[in-house]
């Protein structure tokens, strides 16, 4: 028995070390980016236009602006449609082989690589629909990429609302739509929102699709219409790392990385807060 106990201690310590190593990796990544990037961050960096000839004079504001616009565009396109589709699939569609296939397909589309969505976006939005490489083409492409994710997480959220809620509502005389509107949606809203924000934050960090359908190296103006070109944080980061010859480029790349991670972090924090508040409200 003593031998068993020591064996257990041994293995448990190994597992502990593994977990620590995993956390260490995360910590290292964050520290590396923060330490190397923070020197570059100041008010000017965040709010001025990009100065190409002397990058120390300018800032990454156009990239931040572009990424935010992109995020908004993706949200407008994918969140309402995604939630509608999730509601239909969960509440209205008959439970048959066909709908099951559809559900499985959508769930697995979420796992398809972003390059593939980029190819689709290029062929469909940029060429076929003649939108050119623009903000709208990029929003649509990344919107398609985020849709399966939003649909799946909303669907799970809706599924987790107990049937007793629905039954009680119908027993009180409400129609199906009223039940959905007043009972199901409010209960599952938190989950749907967190899933959506998670999906959007993933999309805003994607580089491969926007290389193909939109982002530019330099623009002299801020995008104001959906057909404008735009700069975006991930792409800006990429070119600072591989194509810029300025000696400050490395530091600026890391500064941009810090901004990007912070943006993602803020969104994730939002999710965390929503989840926490919800857990308090949830009774079941």
Partner 1 sequence: MMFLVKGLKINKEKIIINIFLIVSVTTILILLGIFLFLFFTGIKTFNEISFKEIFFGTDWNPTAYGEPSWGILSLLVGTLIVTLGALIFAIPLGIASSIYLAEIASPKTREFLKPTIEMIAGIPSVVLGLIGIFFLSPLIAGLFGLSNGLNGLIASFIVGIMILPTIISVSEDVLISLPKEFNEASLALGATKWQTIKMTLIPAALSGIGGAIMLGLGRAVGETMAVLMVAGNSRGMPTSILDPVRPITANIAIEIKEVVSGSLHYEALFLLGLILFVITFCVNVISEIIINKQTKKYKW
Partner 2 sequence: MKNSTKFIGGIFIILFIGFIWMGFNNSKGDVTGNIISENKDLKVSDQNNKIEIKGSDTIVQLVSNLAEDFSKNNPDTKISVTGGGSGTGIAALLNGEIDLADSSRSIEQKELDLAREKSLDVKEVIIARDMLSVIVNKDNKVDRLTIEELSKIYKGEIKNWNEVGGKDQKITLYGRQSTSGTYTFFLEHVVKGEYSENMRNLEGNQAIFEAVKQDKGGMGYIGIGYLKEGLKNENNKIKAVDVSYDGKDYFSPLDESKINDYPISRGLFQYTKMKPVKGTELYDFIQFELSEQGQKIVEDSGFVKIANSDKQKNNDVLG
Interface residues with partner 2 (CB under 8 A) are: 51-53, 124, 127-128, 130, 132-133, 215-221, 228-229, 239, 242-247, 249
- 90 dihedral zone (left: phi>0; alpha: psi -120 to 50; beta): alpha
> Using CA atoms, how far apart are residues 252 and 233, in angstroms rounded to an integer?
12
CA distance 76 to 96: 31
Angstrom distance (rounded) from CA 129 to CA 108: 26
Q: Which of 34, 241, 274, 278 binds partner 1 (CB under 8 A)?
A: 241
**The two structure tokens encoding residue 239:** 């070119």
For 140, phi and psi rounded to 5 degrees? -65, -45
CB of 225 to partner 2, least distance (A): 10
Residue in this structure with the two tokens 């600072």, named with its chain if needed: 240
Among 70, 79, 184, 253, binds partner 1 (CB under 8 A): 253
CB of 229 to partner 2, least distance (A): 4
Query: Using the rule CB under 8 A, is 151 a contact of partner 1?
Result: yes
Q: Which is nearer to partner 2, 197 or 215 (CB)?
A: 215
Is the Cβ of residue 190 or residue 209 nearer to partner 2 in the bound state? Answer: 209
Q: Smallest distance from the beta carbon of 192 to partner 1, in angstroms? A: 15
Measured from the CB atom, is 140 or 161 closer to partner 1? 140
CA 235 to chain centre: 16
Distant-in-sequence, close-in-space partners of 75: CB < 8 Å, separation ≥ 6: 196, 200
Residue span 102-131 as binding mask against partner 1, x where in contact by CB under 8 A, dash where not = x-xxxxxx-xxxxxxxxxx-xxx--x----
Q: Which does 113 bind (CB under 5 to 8 A by kind): partner 1, partner 2, none?
A: partner 1
């Amino acid at each position: 028995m003593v031998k068993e106990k020591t064996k257990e201690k041994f293995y448990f310590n190994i597992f502990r070390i593994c977990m620590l190593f995993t956390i260490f990796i995360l910590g290292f990544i964050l520290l590396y980016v923060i330490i190397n990037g923070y020197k570059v961050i100041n008010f000017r960096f965040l709010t001025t236009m990009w100065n190409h000839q002397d990058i120390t004079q300018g800032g990454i504001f156009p990239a931040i602006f572009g990424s935010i616009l992109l995020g908004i565009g993706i949200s407008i396109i994918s969140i309402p449609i995604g939630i509608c589709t999730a509601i239909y699939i969960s509440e209205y569609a008959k439970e048959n082989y066909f709908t099951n296939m559809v559900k499985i397909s959508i769930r697995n589309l979420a796992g398809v690589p972003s390059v593939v969505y980029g190819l689709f976006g290029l062929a469909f939005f940029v060429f076929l629909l003649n939108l050119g490489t623009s903000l709208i083409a990029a929003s649509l492409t990344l919107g398609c990429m985020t849709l399966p994710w939003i649909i799946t997480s909303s669907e799970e959220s809706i599924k987790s609302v107990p049937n007793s809620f629905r039954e009680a509502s119908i027993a009180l005389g409400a129609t199906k739509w009223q039940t959905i509107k007043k009972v199901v949606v409010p209960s599952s809203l938190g989950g749907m929102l967190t899933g959506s924000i998670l999906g959007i934050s993933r999309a805003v960090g994607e580089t491969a699709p926007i290389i193909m359908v939109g982002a530019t190296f330099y623009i002299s103006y801020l995008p104001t219409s959906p057909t404008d070109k735009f700069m975006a944080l991930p792409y800006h980061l990429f070119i600072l790392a591989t194509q810029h010859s300025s000696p400050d480029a490395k530091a600026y790349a890391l500064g941009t990385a810090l901004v990007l991670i912070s943006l993602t972090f803020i969104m994730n924090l939002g999710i965390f807060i929503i989840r926490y508040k919800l857990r308090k409200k949830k009774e079941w």
